């Protein structure tokens, strides 16, 4: 670490406070809002089908829910790994300091996991699990017998009740998803010491970028999984996803531009060092990766693919590439917020550098692991609770009647 910082010294321009030589929030803290954003975005997409009755999105409804859950499991891990004393992390639950934005994360997270996602998934899959518990053999049969928690009634009435509750949970879930990620934005936006972060728009920008990344993620996962399952993709569904993705990008880019223009126009004390940072240290990740590759190119290609006259294969290809670019763009957005906010000195007199490590708890490999882990969890979840439209269990009333298992 020492050598890392010593080499860093040579790359410092201007004056920074001596305690600023070490960057305190590294790539793991970039991963954290990125993952949380994917959770919120995927859930909001699921709610489109459930609450707003966008029926063409049916094929990705369950997939969105499971993806949200898989990513939510991993979301707090980068924070935990990054703590100086992870063993004390439970103090945030036991003795939270209520004025701290960070202290509330545990509760928002718990609420979202327990009340929103797990409940909704349970209500959504309960009928299926009851039926699978009769169809499957061996261990899986046992698992499916436990998971409905004894509620094995699959009568028409009980399924209607499940649907109703599921809908209510989703309605509660939308503001919760907004809360989850808007709140992550607030963690940064409320730091008045940092002119790069301190902005009322931060929670809103975070939210819309979350929606962008969530839709793009589901688009990617849906295309890849359907391809590997050798099924045909639902083109209306893909078109709808692409449309929503396009609208979300437009809103997101507008908000970010607004923030940017406002800063430039107000031209406060910090503008000199921030402009210097954008044109040097952040040029690649902000201008090239976030704005051009991550927003403008996907936007143009989505418009072209969705509204142009293209064969379906070309269209799918364009959607896929746009979605991948969007992921790169949103990751850069998180990078630019978290790392960018620490590259300039709070003395507003100098710039520093971030040297990423390869190994170690806060290194690149760990980051890669944390980004792949949710996909592994999603794979396992999809084995347990298949989210595919064709695998949904159908109740055969002629056989099962309305008695369920016994």
Q: How far is the CB of 101 from other proteins (least distance, A)?
A: 7
Q: Please tell me whether residue 351 adopts helix, strand or coil conformation.
A: strand
Question: Hunting for tokens 């209520």 — which residue is that?
Answer: 98
Segment contacting other proteins by CB under 8 A, of 55-63, 96-104, 314-322, 381-389? 96-104
Q: How far is the CB of 358 from other proteins (least distance, A)?
A: 20
The residue within the footprint of other proteins, chosen from 18, 138, 150, 311 (CB under 8 A), is 18
Q: Is 89 in the site for other proteins (CB under 8 A)?
A: yes
Q: Is 398 in the site for other proteins (CB under 8 A)?
A: no
356-388 burial: b if 16+ Cβ within 10 Å, else e: ebeeeebbeebbeebbebbeebbeebbeebbbe
Q: Is 1 in the site for other proteins (CB under 8 A)?
A: yes
Helix 119-135 / helix 138-146 crossing angle, nearest 10 deg: 140
Name which of residues 249 to 308 contact other proteins (CB under 8 A).
none
Q: Is 24 in the site for other proteins (CB under 8 A)?
A: yes
Q: Is the dihedral of CA 125, 130, 131, 135 positive or negative?
A: positive
Residue 61 or 105 having the CB closest to other proteins: 105
Q: How far is the CB of 274 from other proteins (least distance, A)?
A: 15
185 Cβ contact partners less than 8 Å away, ≥ 6 residues apart:
33, 202, 203, 204, 205, 206, 207
Beta bridge partners of 351: 13, 344
Q: Is 345 in the site for other proteins (CB under 8 A)?
A: yes
Q: Is 4 in the site for other proteins (CB under 8 A)?
A: no
The helices-and-strands tally (H runs, E runs) of the chain is 17, 2
The residue within the footprint of other proteins, chosen from 192, 309, 383, 394 (CB under 8 A), is 192
Q: Is 149 in the site for other proteins (CB under 8 A)?
A: no
Give the rounded distance of the alpha carbon of 117 from its chain centre. Answer: 14
319 Cβ contact partners less than 8 Å away, ≥ 6 residues apart:
219, 223, 238, 241, 242, 302, 305
Q: Is 3 in the site for other proteins (CB under 8 A)?
A: no
Segment contacting other proteins by CB under 8 A, of 11-19, 61-69, 112-120, 207-215? 11-19
Segment contacting other proteins by CB under 8 A, of 134-142, 281-289, 328-336, 341-349? 341-349
Residue 9 or 380 having the CB closest to other proteins: 9
Q: Is 10 in the site for other proteins (CB under 8 A)?
A: no
Residue 196 or 320 having the CB closest to other proteins: 196
The residue within the footprint of other proteins, chosen from 51, 76, 96, 251 (CB under 8 A), is 96
Cβ–Cβ < 8 Å for 360, 366: yes
Q: Is 346 in the site for other proteins (CB under 8 A)?
A: yes
What does the alpha-carbon distance between residue 126 and residue 161 come to, in Å, rounded to a whole number?
11
Find the DSSP H helices in 267-363: 271-279, 297-307, 312-338, 340-343
For the chain, the helix, strand and coil percentages under 3-state DSSP, each to the nearest 5: 70, 0, 25
CA angle 29, 42, 57 (to 5 degrees): 165
Q: Is 107 in the site for other proteins (CB under 8 A)?
A: no
Structure tokens at 334: 């998180």
Residue 29 or 291 having the CB closest to other proteins: 29
Segment contacting other proteins by CB under 8 A, of 38-46, 184-192, 217-225, 256-264? 184-192
Residue 191 or 293 having the CB closest to other proteins: 191
Q: Is 388 in the site for other proteins (CB under 8 A)?
A: no
What does the alpha-carbon distance between residue 395 and residue 193 come to, in Å, rounded to a whole number?
59
How many CB atoms lie under 10 A from the CB of residue 345? 18
Segment contacting other proteins by CB under 8 A, of 88-96, 162-170, 175-183, 319-327? 88-96
Q: Is 232 in the site for other proteins (CB under 8 A)?
A: no
Q: Which of 311, 206, 303 is nearest to 256 (CA)?
A: 206
The residue within the footprint of other proteins, chosen from 51, 54, 81, 101 (CB under 8 A), is 101
Q: Is the dihedral of CA 43, 44, 49, 50 positive or negative?
A: positive
Q: How many residues bind other proteins (CB under 8 A)?
A: 45
The residue within the footprint of other proteins, chosen from 83, 171, 200, 261 (CB under 8 A), is 83
Q: Given the rule CB under 8 A, which residues bind other proteins?
A: 1-2, 5, 15-22, 24-25, 79, 82-86, 88-89, 91-92, 95-97, 99-103, 105, 187, 190-194, 341-342, 345-349
């Amino acid at each position: 670490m020492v050598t890392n910082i010593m080499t860093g010294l040579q790359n410092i321009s201007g004056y920074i406070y001596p305690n600023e030589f070490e960057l305190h929030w590294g790539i793991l803290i970039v991963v954290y809002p990125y993952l949380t954003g994917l959770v919120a975005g995927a859930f909001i997409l699921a709610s489109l089908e459930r609450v707003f009755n966008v029926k063409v999105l049916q094929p990705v409804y369950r997939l969105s829910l499971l993806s949200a859950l898989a990513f939510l499991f991993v979301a707090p891990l980068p924070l935990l790994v990054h703590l100086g004393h992870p063993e004390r992390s439970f103090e945030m639950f036991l003795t939270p300091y209520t004025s701290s934005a960070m202290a509330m994360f545990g509760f928002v997270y718990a609420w979202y996991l327990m009340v929103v996602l797990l409940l909704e998934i349970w209500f959504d899959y309960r009928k299926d699990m009851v039926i699978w518990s009769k169809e499957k053999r061996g261990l899986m049969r046992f698992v499916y017998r436990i998971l409905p928690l004894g509620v094995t009634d699959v009568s028409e009435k009980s399924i209607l009740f499940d649907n109703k509750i599921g809908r209510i949970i989703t309605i509660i879930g939308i503001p919760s998803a907004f809360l989850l990620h808007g709140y992550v934005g607030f963690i940064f936006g409320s730091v008045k010491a940092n002119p790069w972060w301190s902005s009322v728009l931060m929670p809103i920008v975070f939210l819309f970028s979350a929606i962008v990344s969530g839709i793009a993620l589901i688009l990617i996962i849906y295309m890849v999984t359907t391809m590997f399952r050798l099924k045909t993709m639902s083109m209306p569904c893909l078109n709808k996803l692409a449309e929503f993705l396009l609208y979300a990008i437009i809103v997101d880019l507008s908000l970010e531009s607004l923030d940017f223009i406002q800063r430039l126009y107000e031209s406060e004390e910090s503008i000199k060092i921030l402009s210097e940072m954008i044109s040097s240290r952040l040029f690649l990740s902000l201008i090239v990766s976030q704005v051009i590759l991550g927003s403008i190119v996907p936007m143009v290609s989505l418009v072209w693919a969705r509204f142009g006259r293209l064969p379906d294969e070309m269209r799918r290809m364009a959607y896929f590439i746009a979605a991948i670019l969007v992921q790169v763009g949103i990751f850069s957005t998180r990078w630019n917020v978290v790392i960018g906010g620490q590259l300039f000195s709070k003395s507003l007199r100098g710039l520093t550098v971030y040297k990423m490590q390869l190994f170690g708890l806060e290194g690149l490999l760990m980051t890669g692991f944390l980004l792949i882990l949710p996909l592994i969890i999603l794979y396992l979840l999809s084995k347990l609770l298949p989210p595919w439209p064709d695998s949904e269990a159908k109740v055969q009333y002629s056989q099962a009647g309305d008695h369920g298992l016994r």
